[in-house]
Amino acid sequence: MTDFDEFYAAHYADLVVQIYAYFGDRQEAQDVVQEAFCRALANWRRVAGYDDPAKWVRRVAWNLATSRWRRARTALRYLLRQRAEEPVVDGPGPERVALMQALLALPDAHRRAMVLHYLADLPVAEIAQRERVPEGTVKSWLHRGRLALAAHFTEVENDAVR
């Protein structure tokens, strides 16, 4: 097993979860993360020398996902060519649907902060640096994100009780 294989095995799935949580499309998240890994492989000698190669891949995947509409057609062709058959899985449970709905209702910046902090485990300082805002702003985004999630869960619970 090469360094790249180990790196891929260690980070692929987690990056998919993060991209999915932000963009709300798992299939597309898998696709952009795979593409990001392809690019890492093409430049592996350089990328492997970075302090945190996963950070590089996440950034590339994130950028790719951001321009997803432009790339949607290519992604579709890629999927049709690459995947012989899609595994059949159960649909998402109600908790996840609720969380995804709540996340997707958040403003972009708040959602990014939530995903990077709670899924990618980035500290507030790093998110602030990445978003080019003061740390206080990120804390405020996280606070509002938690409020919105709580409100959404309460609403869902109330609906369930009725």
Partner 1 sequence: MLSDDDTRAEFARMRETVLREVRPPGTAAAHLTLTRRRRRLAAASSAVFVVAVAGGVAFAQPKPGPPVTTPLVIETTEAGSAAPPPDTRVHPSLPETTALHDVTRMRVKAGNAGPLRFTFVCSGSGSGRATVKSETASVTVTVTCGTPPVSTPIELDAPPDPAWVDFAIDWDAGTRLTVTPDGWALQVLDAEGKLTIMQRKST
How are the residues of the chain apportioned to helix, strand and coil, as percentages rounded to the nearest 5?
A: 80, 0, 20
Least distance (Å) between residue 119 CB and partner 1: 5
Q: What is the number of residues in the chain?
A: 162
Query: Which one, 105 or 147, has the nearer CB to partner 1?
Result: 147
Cα-trace Rg, the chain: 17
Least distance (Å) between residue 114 CB and partner 1: 8
Query: Which one, 21 or 64, has the nearer CB to partner 1?
Result: 21
Query: 42: how many CB neighbours lie within 10 A of its CB?
Result: 10
Query: Which one, 95 or 155, has the nearer CB to partner 1?
Result: 95
Least distance (Å) between residue 19 CB and partner 1: 10
Least distance (Å) between residue 95 CB and partner 1: 6
Which chain residues interact with partner 1 by CB under 8 A? Answer: 2, 4-5, 8-9, 12-14, 16-17, 20-21, 26, 30, 34, 37-38, 41-42, 82-83, 87, 89, 92-93, 95-96, 99-100, 114, 118-119, 145-147, 149-150, 153
Least distance (Å) between residue 133 CB and partner 1: 20
For residue 134, the SS3 value is coil
Query: Which one, 100 or 132, has the nearer CB to partner 1?
Result: 100
Alpha helix (H) residue ranges in the chain: 3-23, 26-42, 44-47, 53-66, 68-82, 94-105, 108-118, 124-131, 135-161
Query: Which one, 2 or 162, has the nearer CB to partner 1?
Result: 2
Q: What are the distances in angstroms from CA 118 to CA 14, 17, 71, 145?
A: 12, 11, 28, 11
Query: 155: how many CB neighbours lie within 10 A of its CB?
Result: 13
